Structure 1
Amino acid sequence: MSGIGSPKEAPLERFRHGELEMAVRRAGDSGPGVVLLHNGGTSHTIWRHQIADLATDHRVVAVDLPGFGDSPRPSRPIDLADHIELVSALIEHDGLPPVSLVGNCMGSAIAAGVAANSSSDVRALVMVNPLTDATFRAGGLGLLMAPDSKWAKARAPLRAALRRLRVPRAIAPLVLRYQMGPAGARAGLHHDPELTACLLRDDEAPALTDVLADLPESYRIVRGPDSPPLCTIWGARNRVLSPRAGVRLDKVLRSDRRMLVHDAGHMPMLERPDEVTGTIRSFLADAATGRLRTSPDVQR
């Protein structure tokens, strides 16, 4: 499955809830529902391999969150709660419960929020490189968050500048390469045309900046006693978020299964698609039947 290029996919559809609209790719005619949520800065295309595999026996819904991919940026900045409400409305509209949620980075936080609000509607959670204030601050871009009140004064003008930033086409491979581990570099994913197109959109920087502004207040992932089974997947060479902070988060969340992909970075679902898809598929099957393994750790 690895390499550049996408399997043939169904056309994008549109879903609107209130003032928010997002592009949706639906695949698969029958089976349990699965919703795939991307990280900030990309689109549903990061799940291209998982869509093709899971759609053989699942109803798969992959979205472009507002401001990303083929979805328009809203007229106002939206926060994590808005994303959670929008995805929850889509799940209800499509009749997916009990649904499995799979997210990367900010997509993981959205998935966790949906589960927290409606745990009975969620069969299982897979969180890839989950974004929290702690995992971001400990990562390579953590300096974008002011560490104390002295530096907080510089945060507003910095974010204003980020909103106006546009990535030149010649720089896009470098931005993507920063997000990849050795496996992604070997596959040439930093030259992937679909990922590059995401970076070059005018809405990209403002949408990412809105996530950054909301990060300190909203991005706290919690897991209650009634939460669905949880699998976490981390790219060990992730430079955007901190895998070490992720280990601490796993302990707090009491993950039922954990996967560490040694040579992958921020997008292991593209960098090591066969291994990640296999882990997702196995976990969803075990969660559906209650047969979770007693040994939760998987090393790749």
Structure 2
Amino acid sequence: MAHAALPTAEPPGPPAAGPSGLALRRLALAAPGDAAGLTSQWRTVNGLRTHVRRSAERDQQGPPVLLVHGLAVSHRYLTPLAVALADTHPVYAPDLPGFGLSARPPNAYDPRQHAEHLAALLAAYGLPPVCVLGHSFGAEVAAALAARHPETVRAVVLAGPTSDPRARSRWGQVRRFLLDTTREARWQAPILLRDVIDARPPRVWATLSHSIHNRIEDDLRRIAAPTLVLTGSRDPLVPAAWRARAAELVPDARTAAVPDAAHNVATTAPWQVAEALRALLDTTIPDEPTNR
């Protein structure tokens, strides 16, 4: 298992002076309107109208990337990462059932139910195997998808995967989350507030219960695709020991940390995360042209 600390400087590609927090916030809250080459689509999957924020069709040569959000949020906070990836990969960032602009099922889904929904969504789009990046609770969903539908997954990025067995309780996760809020960029707050309002606190609480009862370890052992376990170096929800342990459980995994980033690494360090994803694909699987 290899480990790398990603550079603090932005890699080649993004503007020398990255977009401001205000610009990123406006971009994240733009849906369903078009913005920065991203557009909104809806697919009815298993009877649920599902919102997908996706990149415009162009001559991207990399495989499709599926971005899976966490338990209280939506596609919105993953928008900076979607933009960072869109030049080289078709990007799909769905709102999981009950979150964002997607329909709400009567009960909150657990990771396996979300994974089944995503497998059906990928089939509805007719996509080839994707690189799935799941963040936080979304990493639990991504692991379940890779374990149960390996034919749909080409590579896996588990960004800030929950939940560390040493804090696998409601209070354990809430305590770490509160610590994380002191380390995050403040411009994210309106985005996260909008997401919680859309999901509604009871669904957020029920999803947290599903997370702490989910043994992600069982799915990690079954992942056959090349995998990267990535966190921010200052992530209190996913400390270095849990990052390393999660990677050890996957047959073919490596780890990486983004210096100075906290839990929402996909939002606050999108260029570094995008480059880490591309490096995973470049070093494990030859590219196959894709344009969907």
TM-score by length of 2: 0.76
Q: Which residue of 1 aligns with 2:201?
A: 205
1:27 matched to 2:55? The reply is yes
Deviation of the 1:72 alpha carbon? 3.1
Q: Which residue of 2 aligns with 1:189?
A: 187
Question: SS of 1:15's equivalent?
Answer: strand
Deviation of the 1:87 alpha carbon? 0.3
In 2, distance between residues paired with 1:64 and 1:252? 28
1:277 to 271, 274, 290: 274
Deviation of the 1:252 alpha carbon? 2.4
Moved more, 115-124 or 25-34: 25-34
Q: Which residue of 1 aligns with 2:159?
A: 128
Contact 1:22 1:72 in 2 (8 A): yes
Matched to 1:24, the amino acid is V
Matched to 1:17, the amino acid is V
Q: Which residue of 2 aligns with 1:16?
A: 44
In 2, distance between residues paired with 1:289 and 1:104? 25
Moved more, 218-227 or 122-131: 218-227
1:142 to 172, 176, 199: 172
Cα distance, 1:243–1:17 mapped onto 2, change above 3 Å:
same
Question: SS of 2:52's equivalent?
Answer: strand
Question: SS of 2:156's equivalent?
Answer: strand
Higher relative contact order (CA 8 A, sep 6+): 2
Cα distance, 1:248–1:256 mapped onto 2, change above 3 Å:
closer
Cα distance, 1:141–1:264 mapped onto 2, change above 3 Å:
farther
Cα distance, 1:282–1:141 mapped onto 2, change above 3 Å:
farther
Question: SS of 1:11's equivalent?
Answer: strand
* Alignment length (residue pairs): 255
Question: SS of 1:21's equivalent?
Answer: strand
Matched to 2:125, the amino acid is D
In 2, distance between residues paired with 1:180 and 1:268? 13
Contact 1:125 1:231 in 2 (8 A): yes
In 1, distance between residues paired with 2:135 and 2:281? 16
Matched to 2:255, the amino acid is R
Query: Gaps (5+ residues) in structure 2?
Result: 1-17, 28-34, 288-292
1:239 matched to 2:236? The reply is yes
Cα distance, 1:52–1:247 mapped onto 2, change above 3 Å:
same
Q: Which residue of 1 aligns with 2:180?
A: 179
In 2, distance between residues paired with 1:123 and 1:54? 16
1:58 to 77, 85, 89: 89
Q: Which residue of 2 aligns with 1:220?
A: 216
Query: Gaps (5+ residues) in structure 1?
Result: 146-174, 291-300
Contact 1:41 1:208 in 2 (8 A): yes
Deviation of the 1:41 alpha carbon? 1.6
Cα distance, 1:15–1:43 mapped onto 2, change above 3 Å:
same
Q: Which residue of 2 aligns with 1:106?
A: 137
In 2, distance between residues paired with 1:85 and 1:106? 15
Q: Which residue of 1 aligns with 2:20?
A: 3
Q: Which residue of 2 aligns with 1:249?
A: 246
In 2, distance between residues paired with 1:54 and 1:34? 8
Deviation of the 1:57 alpha carbon? 2.6
In 1, distance between residues paired with 2:47 and 2:202? 18
Q: Which residue of 1 aligns with 2:290?
A: none
C-alpha RMSD of the superposition: 2.9
Deviation of the 1:88 alpha carbon? 0.4
Moved more, 106-115 or 17-26: 17-26
Deviation of the 1:132 alpha carbon? 3.1
Question: SS of 1:211's equivalent?
Answer: helix
In 1, distance between residues paired with 2:191 and 2:53? 15
Moved more, 79-88 or 236-245: 236-245
Question: SS of 1:249's equivalent?
Answer: helix
Question: SS of 2:39's equivalent?
Answer: coil
Give deviations 1:109-157, integer Å, cap 9, x for gaps: 111111112223311000001123616428x941769xxxxxxxxxxxx
Q: Which residue of 1 aligns with 2:3?
A: none
